[in-house]
Amino acid sequence: MHHPDHGAEVAQARRLGGVHRRKEATLKEVYDLGDLGTIGGARRLLSIVALETLALPNSVPRNQTLVAVAKASVKVIEAADIADILAPYELPRGPDRRRG
């Protein structure tokens, strides 16, 4: 990476890294994704994927994608149901409690 013969490659890699970070931030804002590590975030992502897929011309791959979104949606709903069931049993977290 520090060898003078690789200067152009290193510069290109840095440029692509910056482009990727800007693109990620732009997409998060455009689609209002929020935190994809949450149930709400997963629901939002699946909703976007379903709507964007429905806008495509009818085809076997489009329909396969819609089936995959439907299956993933069922799993997210199940996870939300389990989270709702377990919520009353969660211990309160104070500022001094650390996640284990």
Give me the pLDDT at residue 59, please.
94
Determine the residue type at 31.
Y
3 state SS of 45 = helix
1 within domain boundaries:
yes
CA 24 to chain CA mean position, Å = 10
- What percent of the chain has pLDDT above 70? 68
Dump pLDDT digits (tens) for 61-100.
999 999 999 999 999 999 999 999 998 888 877 665 554 4
Whether 7 and 43 map to the same domain: the answer is: no
Query: Domain range spanning residue 80?
Result: 34-90
Whether residues 27 and 38 share a domain: the answer is: no
Which alpha helices (H) appear in the chain, and where do they start and end? 7-31, 39-54, 60-86
Q: Are residues 86 and 42 in the same domain?
A: yes
